[in-house]
Amino acid sequence: MRPEAILETALYAADLVAAKAFYGEVLRLSVIAEVPGRHVFFRVGKGVLLVFNPDATEVPSANPALPVPVHGARGAGHVCFAATREEIAGWRDRMTLAGVAVEAEFDWPNGARSLYVRDPGGNSVEFAEARLWD
């Protein structure tokens, strides 16, 4: 037995309002859950992107029915969204229109293309062709 998919990915951002605007408005992801000051969760295909306030995830759960252990991280994380080469060009244009600086864009040695930007929390957000890992 081994995992076959990642169900959720977590990033951390102190300013959840800015994170919600970036992922909800610029990336157009749907919000599926939100607790102001603690987290905002987004649907990504069959998976979920969790964005937590790092301070809030260090506080133990007060709900005995949901004894989620404290967890979290500090500093920039990374997430990569699968995209075709044509979609990557579209993401570059959308980021430029939204005033989001493109940090890097290049082809890997295997020919796969990647585009990198930063979200408002400083996390590295990549769009890459899925063949990057073939």
Q: What is the pLDDT of residues 7-57, one digit of tens each?
A: 999 999 999 999 999 999 999 999 999 999 999 999 999 999 999 999 998
User: Considering only CA atoms, which of 104, 130, 98 is closest in space to residue 116?
Assistant: 104
CB count, 10 Å around CB of 61? 11
Closest CA to 127 of 101, 88, 100, 97: 88
C-alpha–C-alpha distance, residues 48 and 53, integer Å: 16
* Residue pLDDT, tens place only, 56-96: 988 888 888 989 888 878 889 999 999 999 999 999 999 99
Per-residue pLDDT at 2: 85
Which is nearest to 80 in space by CA: 47, 31, 58, 53? Answer: 47
Domain 8-59+75-133 has CATH 3.40.50.10540: no
- Give the C-alpha separation, 45 to 124, whole Å: 20
Dist CA 68 CA 59 (whole Å): 10
Q: Spell out the residues 6+ positions from residue 114 whose beta carbon is closer than 8 angstroms to its own.
A: 80, 88, 104, 105, 106, 107, 108, 126, 127, 128, 129, 132
Within 13 Å of residue 7, how many CA atoms lie on the same side as its CB? Answer: 1
